Amino acid sequence: DAGVIQSPRHEVTEMGQEVTLRCKPISGHNSLFWYRQTMMRGLELLIYFNNNVPIDDSGMPEDRFSAKMPNASFSTLKIQPSEPRDSAVYFCASSLSGTANTEAFFGQGTRLTVV
């Protein structure tokens, strides 16, 4: 298995532009997590899905952020409009949850810079 795949690896965009981050979880995993990592706040959980359904989005900073999981093999995190304070590394992770609880496997992350 190739692991969790995120794209792009790096994104530089201007303030006000829309940004879409993509994630392909590990096949067979039923939970997907989006995290943001910054020097100020560390690793923050933004949202997680279970069986493609958003379960907890309490970590999403504001309405400019939205996430979707249209099927078991794909998820997006969208920021519209982007602001400089959104600059961070965004990680996607997937795991098998429920009675067969497993650790979450992380992608390599997307480094977002908003100028």
Partner 1 sequence: GESVGLHLPTLSVQEGDNSIINCAYSNSASDYFIWYKQESGKGPQFIIDIRSNMDKRQGQRVTVLLNKTVKHLSLQIAATQPGDSAVYFCAEKNTDKLIFGTGTRLQVFP
Residues that bind partner 1 (CB under 8 A): 4, 31, 33, 35, 39-43, 45, 48, 50, 55-56, 91, 93, 95, 97-98, 101, 103-109
Tell me the backbone φ, ψ of residue 85, rounded to 5 degrees.
Answer: -70, -5
Q: How far apart are CA 51 and CA 25, in angstroms?
A: 12
Q: Toward partner 1, which CB reaches closer, 35 or 65?
A: 35
Nearer to partner 1, 48 or 65 (CB): 48
Choice between 74 and 106, CB closer to partner 1: 106
Q: How far is the CB of 23 from partner 1 (least distance, A)?
A: 11
Residue 43: CB minimum distance to partner 1, A = 4
Cα gap 80→31, rounded to integer Å: 25
Tokens of 71: 């099927």
* Residue 48 beta carbon to partner 1: minimum distance, rounded to whole angstroms: 6
Phi and psi at 86, nearest 5°, equal -80, -10
Question: For partner 1, which is the closer residue by CB, 1 or 103?
Answer: 103
For 14-64, strand residue ranges (E) read 19-24, 31-38, 42-50, 53-56
Q: How far is the CB of 50 from partner 1 (least distance, A)?
A: 6
Question: What type of residue sits at position 32?
Answer: L
